[in-house]
Amino acid sequence: MAATHQSRPWFLRIFSRKDSAPLDPSRPDLEIVAAGFDDVEACSTVLARASAEEPRWESEREAVLRHHLDLPEAAVAEAEAFVIRDGYRRGLPREFDVQAQGVGLMRVLFERTQMLDALHCSQERSRMAALAQRLGGSVAGWDALQPAAVR
């Protein structure tokens, strides 16, 4: 009996090559399937909850991981130049996104498509927090989007 995709070890699911094109972050049918906007809540907790609630996060499918940073306008270009080296791009806000809450700050989204797991989410979250702090801003949180049609 052949093993199903879901029964494969996590490292094979994360590092295996897919034959299909990567998930396009600009797809209009993407919806938030996981979100972490509380500094003390671990990514593992958020993802565990997201896998049990609707819309459900599907760990075997790619997601668009978005980091929401509140940065001084003068620092946005520097931040973008830094994150682009790691495959991020500046994302466009969607109708459900919240704007920056601080004086002199603007909400910036950096996003990339990836297989999402708690460890890598936590590492990226820490990196974005360090970047934002270095540039005089802060991180509002992160979220993950997947297409509604895959469920």
Residue range 6-25: average pLDDT? Answer: 65
pLDDT at 18 (0 to 100) = 53
Average pLDDT over residues 103-122: 94
In a domain, 76, yes or no: yes
Residue 33 maps to a domain:
yes
The whole-number average pLDDT for the span 105-125 is 96
CATH assignment at residue 55: 3.30.70
> For residue 96, what are its two tokens?
């459900």
Residue 5 counted as domain residue: no
Q: Tell me what pLDDT residue 9 has.
A: 64
Going by pLDDT thresholds of 50, 70 and 90, the confidence category of residue 13 is low
Comparison of pLDDT for 2 and 127, the residue scoring more:
127
The Cβ of residue 69 has, within 10 Å, a number of other Cβ atoms equal to 26
Mean pLDDT of 13-31: 77
Distance CA 46, CA 150 (A): 20
Mean pLDDT, rounded, for 103-127: 94
Number of domains, the chain = 1
For residue 101, being part of any structural domain is answered with: yes
Residue 15 lies in a domain: no
* pLDDT tens for each residue of 34-75: 999 999 999 999 999 999 999 999 999 999 999 999 999 999
Give per-residue pLDDT as tens, 57-67: 999 999 999 99
> 10 Å Cβ neighbour count for 111?
24
Residue 121 lies in a domain: yes
Whether residue 25 contacts residue 91, with contact meaning beta carbons closer than 8 Å, is answered with yes
What domain range is 89 assigned to?
Answer: 27-150
Asked if residue 56 is part of any domain, the answer here is yes
Q: Is residue 20 part of a domain?
A: no
